[in-house]
Every structure is written in C-alpha cells, then in structure tokens.
Amino acid sequence: MRVLGIETSCDETGVALYDTEHGLLADALYSQIAMHADFGGVVPELASRDHTRKLLPLIQQVLDDARLSRGDLDGIAYTAGPGLVGALMVGATTAHGLARALDLPVLGVHHMEGHLLAPMLEADPPAFPFVALLVSGGHTQLVAVKGLGDYRLLGESVDDAAGEAFDKAAKMLELPYPGGPQVAKLAESGDPGRFRFPRPMTDRPGLDFSFSGLKTHTLTTARALREAGELDDQGRADIARAFEDAVVDTLVIKCRRALDETGLKRLVVAGGVSANRRLRERLDAELTKRRARAYYPRGRFCTDNGAMIAYVGAQRLLAGERDADAMRAVPRWPLAELTAPTIAS
C-alpha cells in the first residue's frame, strides 16, 4: 500500500511517500524558520499561508522523486492534530481534496503518534512493547507502548515542555530563533562546574516533569551575571551548559524510573529534543549499564516531517481505518485518546 503523508501542524511543511512493502520511497521538507526568525517565534497566520504555497509543489516533488504519479497512490494521510488550527486546516483540506479527486481513502493522523513511531522508519526498528519518551517543544511525556494505538501515559510535564524550556532559556540568553539548538550549541563551550541548576521533581517519586522552576532559576542566574557585568560569551555558555545538564539529567532519571516501573528494556526517544547530542550520550550510557537499548529516529526525522505521518497513516489505513466525509483539524488532542485499530484489512 502506497500512502502519501502530509505534515502541516506548525512551521514545517513535510510530505513523504511510504510503501508498506518497500518502506520509505521519498520525502521532502520545507522549513519556515527563516520566515519566523524576525518575530522570535511562529506567527500562525504566516505559517498557514506558507503551507498553502509550498504543499502542492512538495507533493509533486515527492512523486517525481519516487518516479510515481498520483494514480499510483493507494491512500493519503495527514496530520489532524495537535497543532496550529490554521496550519492543520491546510493539510486537511489538501488531503481530502486529493482523496476525493482520486477516489482514495484518507485518514487524519495524530502528530505525536507520528513522532512516537518515527524510529520504525529505521533499518533496525524497536519491537513492541517499549517505553517512549516524547520530548519536543510542545510535549514531554513518558508512554508505555504495547502496540499501534495501545498507549498508557506514565508521566508528563505539568507545565513547560522540555523543548519549550530550551526556547525560553535561549531568549534569556539573547540567542537567535530557534532557541533550543542554539542553547545546545552554546553549551558545548560551557564550564560544567561553574553552576549547578536544580533537577526538578527528581527528589520525589513519580514520572511527571516540571521545567518552569528550572526556567526561573536560569532567568535569576542570567540577571545576576548581567548585574555583575559578567554576562559575556563565557557566562552565557556556562549558563547554557548548566541548563542543558539539568534538563538531560532530569530526562534520564525519569526514563530510568519508567523502565524500572514497566520492566521493559527498550526505550524510544522521539521529538525535536531527541536530536540533542548530550541527551543521547547519557541515555546510551545509562541503558548500556542496564543491558537495555535506546532507539532514535535519524536526525531529519526528529523534528516534524511527512515520513512519520505517512508511516502511521499507512499502518492504520492498512488496518481499515478511514476518515468519514468530514476532515479533521484538532488543535488539542491527547495521545491517550487514541485506540488500536479494530477493523481488519
């Protein structure tokens, strides 16, 4: 089954073509980072307009790269949520319009399910069951995964997501947008011994996260250095290192607890923050000691992309799931509301 995947949940237009027998055939991504940089964050109306301009050309590019035509498609999947409602509507209307014109089944896919299963696109994918750490700009969650759609939430952030905290720390350090990668880059030259920031909610049982206090601690430290005239390049790097170490340690501690609680030996790490080098190094070292293993998507599939949507859509379409006539655009959509497919292909 060949499925076209469309991702337009925020500021990246992603398109991909996935074949259930041959794997990923082609994918393309257009990022709006440069357009939003002057505003220091995503402007929803501009994002929607740009998706409208870029989506159809990207679809044609992916078909050309795969040396296929629209008539070779067997289904279409699109991101139905969560995300920016205007951006979601662009993908939803395009998907339903194409599906109607080509008489194909179409299905709205959960954005975070796409991230959760992105490692399935790799040559050595994880087997079910596993624990998943979903860590991005909008989500920080630990999920026990038994199979497609069979998810149990173990813990989540009670305030800021880890990626959101990275972005806010970047603003405090006067770093350019997008902030998260800038903080990680700056941290490489930071002194790990100058500051030690708190590891929030690790001194109590449980698997929930909180990063708002860490954000406040970062702001207080930056202000103190600024008032002392010491917020120079090295001062910013030292704060970035302390912040990154605190986030990474917190995520590693919680992942260790989740594996202990479930008794599982496989950990999937996905979402934008999963590309963080220090996080991967720490998790790999920790899991090696436990005779366990972490699985990650390749770099370009850590952030939003069409390939993960095409993959999830293909699995669910193959199982018989379909949208009704109405398209879906759901800005808020808890992952826990998903269920396993119940209709046999």
Strand order of the β-sheet with 75-81 is 23-31, 12-19, 2-7, 75-81, 106-110
Is 167 flagged in the annotation as binding? yes
The phi and psi torsions of 93 (rounded to 5 degrees) equal: -65, -40
Is 134 flagged in the annotation as binding? yes
Is 135 flagged in the annotation as binding? yes
- Say which amino acid occupies 228: A
Give SS3 for 192: coil
Is 180 flagged in the annotation as binding? yes
Q: ∠ CA(311), CA(314), CA(318), 5° rounding? A: 150
DSSP calls for 252-304: HHHHHHHHHHHT--EEEEESGGGG-HHHHHHHHHHHHHTT-EEE---GGGTSS
Is 150 flagged in the annotation as binding? no
Q: What is the DSSP letter of 7?
A: E
Half-sphere exposure of residue 143: CA atoms within 13 angstroms, side-chain side: 29
Is 137 flagged in the annotation as binding? yes
The phi and psi torsions of 27 (rounded to 5 degrees) equal: -155, 155
Give kind and range of the element (H or E) at residue 15: strand 12-19
Binding residues for substrate: 134-138, 167, 180, 276
Binding residues for Fe cation: 111, 115, 304
Binding residues: 111, 115, 134-138, 167, 180, 276, 304
